[in-house]
Amino acid sequence: MNLKGIDLKGRSFLTLKDYSKEEILYMIDLAAQLKAKKKRGEVGHLLEGKNIVLIFDKTSTRTRCSFEVAAFDEGAHATFLTNSQMGKKESIEDTARVLGRMYDGIEYRGFDMKVCEDLRDYSGVPVFNGLTDDDHPTQVLADFLTAREHLDKPLDEMKMAYIGDGRNNVAMALMIGAAKVGMDFAIGTPRELFPSEEFMSLVDSYASESGSDLMVTTDPYEAVEDADVIYTDVWVSMGEEDKMEERIALLRNYQVTMDLMNATGKKTTLFEHCLPSFHDLETVVSRDVAAKYGEKYDLKSGEMEVTDEVFRCPRSVVFDEAENRMHTIKAVLVSHLTDKR
């Protein structure tokens, strides 16, 4: 674990496009170190005197809790800003200029990446992307740390397969991360949901440097061949709820089942999911989907992107990922707000 020679202090964490392989691995290594420190019961002081403001235009469980606990663990204070004037009675620029005089860092979770960029440009302090429509970089760090913990081999010796909506923010963020670190990565998705040619050209340029092998296919079984990790996400992202039946019709044959897990040819293949997941009837949304579309699309069980059998199986590491959101976000905060280690 080499934590020397990398300096990220003062930078904004908006997308893994902005980071080298060495910098990404540095953040993952630092997260592992901070996780071990917390497990030992050591009180952290690396962010003492720092103040961070959290702005959420989308709902959240893991991201909000992760940023707050990560900050508190190392001595920082976090403000969860609700009902602000930003974008309503006050411009993003003016809000950023105000917050930048009070806080050492700003987290934003919402729709448009431009809000993150404007907050960065006008606040004068590091800004952290907690999720936007096109990217989810903190999730990727947690997913990679989790895979490394369980598979006990370098990321550039792994293959990950993403099954589902190939254009959503998690799929694209994972492909960016994989292409940067040299991980093989495949997406199994309907042709209508292929990533754009522009995006593929960008990640192919990263892959040519790292040695990553990238694939997009309509065949989920081709995508998962020899995969160390199978990953999926909900079929309808936040803000697209009106497309529920359209996505169900497109993705019904892209559900992660035990048959698909076994098709990798490896008994050690992990299942990952960023959560929340629709794998049973224990949510309002899954019950509503079952009531409206269960008969037509055979979804009476509430199982959508993954079966309950896979979600609960021993190879499912979804709750390890959820915990690792906090440890990797802590690494991002520590590395970007201070030079202390």
pLDDT at 238 over 80: no
Q: How confident is residue 144, by pLDDT bands cut at 50, 70 and 90?
A: very high
Averaged over 185-213, what is the pLDDT?
98
CA distance 289 to 302: 7
Between strands 214-217 and 270-273, the pairing is unpaired
Q: How confident is residue 2, by pLDDT bands cut at 50, 70 and 90?
A: low
CA distance 267 to 276: 25
Averaged over 126-149, what is the pLDDT?
98
pLDDT at 1 over 70: no
pLDDT at 240 over 90: no
Task: Tell me, yes or no, whether 206 and 304 share the same domain.
Answer: yes
Task: Tell me, yes or no, whether 188 and 305 share the same domain.
Answer: yes
Please report which residue ranges of 124-257 form alpha helices under DSSP H: 137-151, 169-181, 197-210, 220-224, 244-251
pLDDT digits (tens, 9 = 90+) for 21-59: 999 999 999 999 999 999 999 999 999 999 999 999 999
Averaged over 79-95, what is the pLDDT?
93
Burial of 4 (0-12, 13-18, 19+ CB in 10 A): exposed
Q: How confident is residue 5, by pLDDT bands cut at 50, 70 and 90?
A: confident
Averaged over 278-298, what is the pLDDT?
95
How many domains, the chain? Answer: 2
Task: Tell me, yes or no, whether 77 and 165 share the same domain.
Answer: no
Residue 148 within any structural domain of the chain: no
Task: Tell me, yes or no, whether 302 and 198 share the same domain.
Answer: yes
Residue 145 within any structural domain of the chain: no
CATH number for the domain including 244? Answer: 3.40.50.1370
pLDDT of residue 201: 98
Task: Tell me, yes or no, whether 110 and 169 share the same domain.
Answer: no
Task: Tell me, yes or no, whether 87 and 181 share the same domain.
Answer: no
pLDDT of residue 52: 98
Active-site residues, by number, are 109, 136, 139, 233, 274, 325
Domain range for 216 is 159-227+229-263+270-314
pLDDT of residue 340: 85
Q: Please give the mean pLDDT across all residues of the chain.
A: 96
Task: Tell me, yes or no, whether 112 and 186 share the same domain.
Answer: no
